[in-house]
Structure 1
Amino acid sequence: MKKLNNLLLFVFAGLALACSSEDEEPKLVEKNVTIEVEMGGNYSEYLVTFSVHSMLAGTSTFVAPVLGVPSDLDWTQVVEQGNTYTLTYEPSMSTIEVKFASKIHSLGFVFNAVPLDRSINETIQPMTAIIRVLADGEVYEQFEFEALDSEQVSVPLAEELQFGRN
């Protein structure tokens, strides 16, 4: 009987070590997120497209973005049940600011700009943008974008982020 108790003790100890918390998938951290876009150069000569997608809370709850600046525009949402929101416009101010209806643990975005006048003979000052993603009020990541001139095609900046794990 004593050998059986020792054997059971070793089995339970082995199971306890095999099922340690290191093997468990940690929970995603949800944060209050803001995206700030600061455009420079001759941004008014460009058509800007900014999309946000995959804003998630919990295991699979979609969270809607709130467009703070420019306040006079609205998102376009091609599929109403989808989780992708797009803003395409000719900027009159250098800032875009997006917040979210609740805390999120992940998101993706795409930013691009193309010259409005695609004339090869005319030189347009390049447009630049700095995209800052703030989590709980602090810069989590920062990205830089530069639009190419009218003779070339700009490559969109596309990023996906998860806000850490516990």
Structure 2
Amino acid sequence: MRNLNYLFLIAITIFSFSCSSENETPKLVEKSVTIEVEMDGSYTDYLVTFSVHSMLSGSSTFVTPVLDQPTELNWTQVIEHGNTYTVSFEPEVPTITATSSAPIHSLGFVFNAVHLGGETDHSFQPLSATVNVLADGVVYRQFEFEAMPPGEVSVPLAEEITLN
């Protein structure tokens, strides 16, 4: 009987350790997110494309991004079932801002700029941009982008972020 009690105690101990919470998926952190793009250089000589996709909350609920800046523009392409919102334009102001319409746990974005062509003078500077992703008003991640000079192809800045 004593051996049976020891075996029972060992079985309970093994079972309790095997049911630890290490294998549980962590709870998703959701925050209000803003993406700010600050351009520098000869940005008015470029066609800029900015796309926000995969803004998700909960267990995969699509969240719509709101294009705050430039104020006179709307998304130029919207694919609601793909949760993708894109704006392409020739910038007159150096800032693009988009905000999540509800708290989210993950998102993706793409930023690119292509020179419009034509002659450049000695004051020309290729477009550069700093992209800040703010979570609840605090910079969560920061990225740098450098456009290529006229006649060369820029590599898009494409990022996917999960808040934690």
Q: Structure 1 length as normaliser, TM-score? A: 0.91
AA at the equivalent of 1:45: D
AA at the equivalent of 1:29: V
8 Å Cα contact 2:131/2:143 also seen in 1: yes
Mark the runs of 5 or more structure 2 residues left unpaired by the alignment: none
Spell out, residue by residue over 1:52-92, the C-alpha distance to the aligned partner (whole angstroms, 9 max, x if none).
11111011101000111112111134533111110100111
What is the distance in 1 between the residues matched to 2:71 and 2:116? 22
Q: Please show how residues 89-100 of structure 1 align to structure 2 within 5 Å.
A: 89-100=89-100
Per the TM alignment, residue 125 of structure 1 is displaced from its structure 2 partner at its CA by: 2.1
AA at the equivalent of 2:134: L
Moved over 6 A (4+): none
Name the structure 2 match of 1:129: 129
AA at the equivalent of 2:157: L
Q: Larger deviation: 23-32 or 1-10?
A: 1-10
AA at the equivalent of 2:18: A
Per the TM alignment, residue 5 of structure 1 is displaced from its structure 2 partner at its CA by: 3.8
Length, aligned pairs only: 162
CA RMSD in angstroms, aligned pairs only = 1.5
What is the distance in 2 between the residues matched to 1:51 and 1:134? 16
Name the structure 1 match of 2:65: 65
AA at the equivalent of 1:16: S
What is the distance in 1 between the residues matched to 2:57 and 2:8? 42
Q: Larger deviation: 2-11 or 69-78?
A: 2-11
Mark the runs of 5 or more structure 1 residues left unpaired by the alignment: none
What percentage of residue pairs aligned between the two structures are identical?
59
Name the structure 2 match of 1:55: 55
AA at the equivalent of 2:70: P
